[in-house]
Structure 1
Amino acid sequence: MTPPSPEGGPGDGQAPKRSAAQRKQVLLRLDPLVHDALARWAGDELRSTNAQIEFLLRRALSDAGRLPGAAGPLPRRGRPPKSSGDDEDAKQPGEDV
C-alpha cells in the first residue's frame, strides 16, 4: 500500500488540492449554431469563448447553490501584470540611451 500523496487524492479522505494555475481541460461538443452564438456573446463582452463558457457555468452553479466555496475566482481578463523586475532594463518611449 502506498502512502497518500501530499496533494491528497482518492482513498485518503481528502479532496485533491490544486494550485491556482492548474486548470481542468474538457472536450465540449456543441451544436455549431450554439457555438456561434456563444462566440458572438463572448466577443460582445470582450471575453474568449472559453472564458464566456466558464463565466456562464459558474453563474449557473451559483444560482443553483452548487458553486463550491473553495472554487477559485475567475482569472482576470487581459495580460497578467508585469513582475517588479521585468521593466528595470526596459527603455521607455522617448528616452535617450
Structure 2
Amino acid sequence: MPRKNYPLRISPELYAALERWAADELRSVNAQMEYLLTQSVRQAGRWKPAPEAAPGSEKGGEQDH
C-alpha cells in the first residue's frame, strides 16, 4: 500500500525534540513520527488493519445481503 504524503506544521522546538529522539533511536524524523503515531493509535485501541480478502474473491465486488 503506498504511503500518503501529508504536510505537517509543527513548532521548531517540537521538531528539534523529535530530531534528537529520532537520532537516539537511529531513525529519520519521519520514521520516528510514524512510529510514535502508530504506537499511540494502537494504545488507544483505534488500530483496525484492513481485512484481508479471501482467496479467489475480487476486491470491490458485491457483498451478500
Q: TM-score, normalised by structure 2?
A: 0.73
Q: Percent identity?
A: 50
- Greater per-residue helix proportion: 2
Equivalent residue pairs, number? 50
Question: Could you say which structure has the larger radius of gyration?
Answer: 1
Unaligned runs of at least 5 residues, structure 2 = 51-65
Structure 2 SS opposite 1:33: helix
Unaligned runs of at least 5 residues, structure 1 = 1-18, 71-97
Q: Which has the higher contact order (CA 8 A, sep 6+)?
A: 2
1:68 Cα deviation from its structure 2 partner: 1.9
1:69 Cα deviation from its structure 2 partner: 2.0
1:41 aligns with 2:21: yes
Query: Aligned-pair RMSD on alpha carbons?
Result: 0.8
